[in-house]
Chain A
Amino acid sequence: MVQSRPIIPILIAIAAASLLYLLQEDDIQPSEEQSIVLPEGSPDIYMTGVDITRYDEQGQATLHAKGESLTVFNDPKRTVFAQPIIHLIDQEQRTWRITSSIAFIDENDNIDFQENVVATQLISSPPLILRTEQLLVDPAKNALKSDLAVQVTQGQQRIKAIGMTAELDTMGTNIHFLSEVSFVYEP
């Protein structure tokens, strides 16, 4: 009989330890959200219903962007913009509106518009409309560029070419069509 007496305290101790462990379990167990492991290549920022305005050092608006969604990756730094509607602004005047199916913004803030690109020069009358499948915008140099087929219409004038560059300034834009130029001008 003597053998059974030491076992009872041991059993009591084990039961108490188990009870304590169960009580603490809720605290140790991390909540579901903290331990989510994102899959490889996930964005760092994802926004929908985008409405962004960019300002220069003097507080002047230089660009306004609206779009369906914005996905930002930090490494390597790039941004994917779905259904962008971008206005270039110069001295509080909207000079160009550029839309496309998608746009990619790189680490130097160059914007690469792709698929159904339509760029409208708002400050010319009638407005000048440029259509292509890819358009590169360099806000720092205030320049546009495309290496693909482009079509420009303004009033009665229609111009087609392969490749173009344009310097944007408030006075007027000079558009250079690079090759295979054909045009129709209806008097």
Chain B
Amino acid sequence: LPADRELPITGQSDKKTFETATGLVTLTGNVFIRQGHLEIYAQQTSLETNQETKQLQQLIATGSPARFIDLPNEDGNSVEVSGNSIEFYPAKNLIITIGNAQISQNGNTVNGERIEYNTVTGLMNIQSQRALTGNPEDEQAELVIIPGAID
């Protein structure tokens, strides 16, 4: 939920490196992060904070796959995002998934090579591997909508 961005971020991992000069944090091994309803599961995650405002600027999670689970609004349908790399920009309410990207909600799924997803508006921009490489042999994006799953 949008209000979740004001909540504390808690997390665990096997290892962590903290660069005090830049505020960059790198978590490695069994990474789990939670902020309100948002949950992140990854093998490695880096968090960058703005050194003046101390706000979280960017979070990049990688894994096989890395997964994001979030509750974008009150209607209760959580969204799950997975992919090789997931970038989260809280200030822009933006999640960018790259590599085997998939977003699913309420049984509906979207697959592509690169998916941009706005966590507030729910707007998605899906790019297939073919669109990115221009190679006609590469995969296209795929969209599966369950009848009745969307009002």
Q: Which residues of A contact B (CB under 8 A)?
A: 121, 124, 128, 152, 154-156, 159, 161, 171-187
Q: Which of B12, B16, B49 has the most CB of A within 10 A?
A: B16
Give the secondary structure class of A's interface.
strand
Which residue on chain A has the smallest CB distance to residue B5? A187
Given contact pairs A159-B16, A174-B20, A183-B16, enumerate 17 new A-B contacts (beta carbons under 8 Å): A156-B54, A172-B19, A172-B21, A174-B18, A175-B17, A175-B20, A176-B17, A177-B15, A179-B14, A180-B12, A181-B12, A181-B15, A182-B12, A184-B8, A184-B10, A185-B9, A185-B10
Give the number of residues in B that approach A within 8 Å (Cβ atoms).
Answer: 25
Chain B residues closer than 8 Å to A180, beta-carbon distance? 12, 14
Chain B residues closer than 8 Å to A185, beta-carbon distance? 8-11, 47, 49, 56
A174 and B9 CA atoms in complex are apart in Å by: 21
Whether the pair B18, A175 counts as a contact (CB closer than 8 A) is: yes
Whether the pair B20, A182 counts as a contact (CB closer than 8 A) is: no
Chain A residues closer than 8 Å to B21, beta-carbon distance? 124, 171-173
A159 and B47 CA atoms in complex are apart in Å by: 14
CB-CB nearest 8 A-B residue pairs: A172-B21, A177-B16, A185-B9, A181-B16, A175-B18, A182-B12, A173-B20, A186-B8
Assess whether B6 is interfacial by the CB under 8 Å rule: yes
Which residue on chain B has the smallest CB distance to residue A170? B21
Which residue on chain A has the smallest CB distance to residue B9? A185
Cross-chain contact of B15 among A171, A172, A179, A187 (Cβ < 8 A): A179
Chain A residues closer than 8 Å to B25, beta-carbon distance? 183
A178 and B28 CA atoms in complex are apart in Å by: 10
Chain B residues closer than 8 Å to A154, beta-carbon distance? 20
Assess whether B121 is interfacial by the CB under 8 Å rule: no
Whether the pair A183, B11 counts as a contact (CB closer than 8 A) is: yes
